Structure 1
Amino acid sequence: MPEALTPLIDAHTHLDACGARDVDDVRAMLDRAEAAGVLAAVTVADDLDAARWAAEAATWDPRVYAAVALHPTRADALIEFARAELERLATQPRVVAIGETGMDLYWPGKLDGCADPGRQRESFAWHIDLAKRTGKPLMIHNREADAEVLDVLRAEGAPETVIFHCFSSGPQMARACVDAGWVISLSGTVSFKNATDLRAAAALVPPEQLLVETDAPFLTPHPFRGAPNEPYCLPYTVRALAEVVDRPAQLVAEQSSQTARRVYGL
Structure 2
Amino acid sequence: MSETAEIADAEAAGVAATESNKAARKRRRREPPPDPVPLPGLVDAHTHLAACGGRDPESVRAILDHAEQVGVGQVITVADDMIDARWAVEAAAWDHRAFAAVALHPTHAGELDDDAKAELERMLADPRVVAVGETGLDHYWPSRSDDCAAPDVQAEAFRWHIDLAKRTGKPLMIHNREADADLLDILAAEGAPETVIMHCFSGDRNVAQECVDRGYVLSFAGTVSFANAAELRVAAEIVPDEQVLVETDAPFLTPHPYRGQPNQSYCLPYTARALAEVRGVDDAAMARILGANARRVYRLPLR
Report the TM-score range of the alignment, normalised by the length of the smaller protein: over 0.9
What are the Cα deviations for residues 104-151 of structure 1, in whole angstroms up to 9, with x where unaligned? 001111022100110000000000000001000000000111001101
Q: 2:66 aligns with which of 32, 35, 58?
A: 32
What are the Cα deviations for residues 40-98 of structure 1, in whole angstroms up to 9, with x where unaligned? 00000010011111011101111000000000010000011111111111110000000
1: CA distance between counterparts of 2:259 and 2:48? 17
2: CA distance between counterparts of 1:10 and 1:33? 9
One-letter code aligned to 2:193: P
What is residue 203 of structure 1 aligned with on the other side?
237
SS at match of 2:239: coil
One-letter code aligned to 2:96: P
SS at match of 1:58: helix
SS at match of 1:160: coil
In the alignment, structure 1 segments of 5+ residues that lack a partner are none
Which has a greater percent of helix? 2
1: CA distance between counterparts of 2:130 and 2:174? 14
Query: Between Structure 1 and Structure 2, how many residues are aligned?
Result: 266
1:105 aligns with 2:139: yes
Q: Give the superposition deviation at 1:19.
A: 1.1
One-letter code aligned to 1:41: V
What is residue 223 of structure 1 aligned with on the other side?
257
One-letter code aligned to 1:261: R
1:78 aligns with 2:127: no
1:6 aligns with 2:40: yes
One-letter code aligned to 2:197: I
What is residue 196 of structure 2 aligned with on the other side?
162
Instruction: Return the TM-score normalized by structure 2.
Output: 0.87
Of 106-115 and 228-237, more deviation after overlay is shown by: 106-115
Q: Which has the larger radius of gyration?
A: 2
1:146 aligns with 2:180: yes
What is residue 160 of structure 2 aligned with on the other side?
126
> Aligned-residue CA RMSD in angstroms?
0.6
Identity among equivalent positions (%) equals 64
- Which ranges of 4 or more aligned residues in structure 1 deviate by more than 4 Å? none
Q: Give the superposition deviation at 1:36.
A: 0.9
What is residue 173 of structure 1 aligned with on the other side?
207
1: CA distance between counterparts of 2:282 and 2:199? 23
1: CA distance between counterparts of 2:276 and 2:203? 19
Q: 1:57 aligns with which of 69, 91, 95?
A: 91
SS at match of 2:93: coil
One-letter code aligned to 1:106: Y
Q: Give the superposition deviation at 1:29.
A: 0.2
2: CA distance between counterparts of 1:7 and 1:40? 9
Instruction: Return the TM-score normalized by structure 1.
Output: 0.99
What are the Cα deviations for residues 153-190 of structure 1, in whole angstroms up to 9, with x where unaligned? 01110000000000000000100011111100000000
